[in-house]
């Protein structure tokens, strides 16, 4: 039985990915900062599938040493990771010029989590996968990665562009190794099902997907070895539009969207 490590598993897409993999009889290592939520998720998963192993680990991956600490903990307990899903991430909103010192600290934390932690975890677990000549890594980026930039969320958009570019590059490097790397690029996502009922306007409802639906599509396409996974036709269209429309127009549209949040 293969073991999947999922970061950012306490909520949203990470949580739903854990449920999908559990349903398909994978053992799980669930990583996040909110240990009570992870324990609750473990309990829920074990009730529906008591045969699989589920380990929960509380750790803040935005801290420099955390990726290595996580690896050493798993090594100590002799847990072999077959599939790594780098899902943990965060965003910071605001006009970059006007960000306070405290907000800039959040930016630094975000960049550490969205980029540096992914690079470190990927390198650490790739080394082990190389030994077995088998493995898979899914890095969660965003449709934002395809846009020219994100006014009012410029650093977040840039971080997701990094994740996509990094994933494509190492995938090509690893093409003859038996190890596959994919990037998941969801668009706006409802991370808790009940929130869907709070959206009254049908035009707004069709703009977003549930985390559950994103996870199902991600599982299916990742298993097929798809390089870039974009769930939903509207998200695919937004990427196509980014290739067709003038960049200045796209920046204006994105800023307008961000202002209306």
Asked if 156 is an active-site residue, the reply is yes
What's the helix, strand, coil split of the chain in %, to 5? 55, 15, 30
Q: State the catalytic residue, choosing from 21, 26, 156, 157.
A: 156
Q: What is the CATH number of the domain that holds 77?
A: 3.40.50.720
pLDDT digits (tens, 9 = 90+) for 59-85: 999 999 999 999 999 999 999 999 999
Contacts of 144 (CB under 8 A, 6+ apart): 150, 153, 156, 157, 160, 161
pTM of this structure: 0.90
Query: Would you state the pLDDT for residue 196?
Result: 38
Report which secondary-structure segment, H or E, holds 139. Answer: strand 135-140
Residue 191 banded pLDDT, cuts 50, 70, 90: low
29 - beta bridge partners? 5, 55
CA distance 244 to 250: 10
Domain count, the chain: 1
pLDDT digits (tens, 9 = 90+) for 162-173: 999 999 999 999
Alpha carbon separation from 194 to 156, 197, 234, 251 (Å, rounded): 26, 6, 22, 32
Instruction: Please give the residue range of the domain that contains residue 58.
Output: 3-259
CA distance 77 to 95: 45
């Amino acid at each position: 039985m293969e073991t999947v490590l999922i970061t950012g598993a306490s909520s949203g897409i990470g949580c739903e990915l854990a449920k999908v993999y559990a349903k398909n009889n994978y053992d799980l290592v669930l990583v996040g900062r909110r240990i009570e939520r992870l324990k609750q998720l473990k309990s829920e998963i074990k009730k529906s599938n008591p045969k699989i192993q589920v380990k929960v680990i509380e750790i803040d991956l935005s801290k420099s040493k955390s990726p290595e600490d996580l690896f050493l903990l798993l090594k100590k307990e002799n847990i072999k990771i077959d599939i790594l899903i780098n899902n943990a991430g965060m965003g910071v909103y605001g006009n970059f010029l006007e960000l306070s010192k405290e907000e800039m600290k959040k930016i630094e934390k975000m960049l550490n989590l969205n980029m540096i932690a992914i690079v470190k975890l990927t390198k650490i677990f790739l080394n082990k996968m190389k030994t077995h000549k088998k493995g898979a890594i899914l890095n969660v980026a965003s449709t934002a990665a395809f846009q020219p930039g994100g006014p009012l969320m410029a650093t977040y958009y840039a971080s997701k562009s990094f994740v996509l570019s990094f994933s494509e590059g190492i995938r090509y490097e690893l093409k003859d190794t038996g190890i596959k790397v994919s990037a998941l690029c969801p668009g706006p996502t409802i991370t808790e099902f009940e929130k869907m009922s709070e959206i009254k306007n049908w035009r707004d409802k069709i703009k977003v997907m549930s985390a559950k639906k994103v996870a199902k599509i991600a599982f299916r396409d990742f298993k097929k070895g798809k390089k870039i996974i974009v769930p939903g036709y509207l998200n695919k269209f937004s990427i196509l539009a980014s290739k067709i429309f003038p960049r200045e127009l796209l920046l204006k549209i994105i800023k307008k969207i961000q202002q209306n949040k």
